[in-house]
A and B are shown apart, each in its own frame.
Chain A
Amino acid sequence: MAKAKGTVTFREDRCKGCELCTTVCPVNIVVMNKDKINVKGYHPATVSDMDKCIGCANCATICPDTVIEVERIIEK
Chain B
Amino acid sequence: MAKVFERTNGLTDKPFHYCPGCTHGVIHRLVAEVLEELDVLGETIGVAPVGCSVFAYDYFNCDMHEAAHGRAPAVATGIKRVHPDKVVFTYQGDGDLASIGAAEIIHAAARGEKITTIFVNNAIYGMTGGQMAPTTLEGQKATTSPYGRDVSHAGMPMRVSEMLATLDGAKFVERVSVHNAAAVRKTKKAIKKAFELQLSGEGFGIVEVLSTCPTNWGLTPVESLKWLEENMIPYYPLGNICTPEEVK
Tally of A-B Cβ pairs under 8 angstroms: 77
Interface segment among B3-11, B81-89, B162-170, B230-238: the answer is: B3-11
Known: A17-B20, A66-B11. Contact between A58 and B26, CB under 8 A? no
CB distance from B35 to the nearest CB of A (A): 15
Please determine whether B1 and A18 come into contact, CB atoms closer than 8 angstroms: no
Among the listed stretches B135-143, B177-185, B202-210, B240-248, which one makes contact with chain A, having 4 or more residues with CB under 8 Å of it? B177-185
- Knowing A7-B1, A18-B20, the reply to whether A66 touches B7 (Cβ < 8 A) is yes
Q: Is the Cβ of A71 less than 8 Å from the Cβ of B4?
A: yes
- Chain A residues 40 to 76 lying within 8 A of chain B, measured CB to CB, are 42, 55, 57-58, 60-66, 68-73
Contact residues in A for B8 (Cβ distance below 8 Å)? 66
Contacting pair A69 B20 (CB below 8 A)? no
The interface residues of chain B lying within 8 Å CB-to-CB of A57 are 4-5
Question: Is the pair A64, B2 in contact by a Cβ cutoff of 8 Å?
Answer: no
A61 touches B181 (CB 8 A): yes
B221 on the interface (CB 8 Å rule)?
yes
Interchain nearest-CB distance for A11 vs B (Å): 8
Tell whether, in the assembled complex, residue A71 and residue B181 are in contact, meaning their CB atoms are under 8 Å apart: no
Chain B residue nearest to A26 in the complex (CB): B181
Set of chain B residues within 8 Å of A61, measured between Cβ atoms: 5, 181, 184-185
User: B214 to chain A: which residues have CB within 8 Å?
Assistant: 18
A-B pairs, 6 with minimum CB distance:
A64-B25, A18-B21, A16-B20, A58-B181, A18-B221, A70-B5
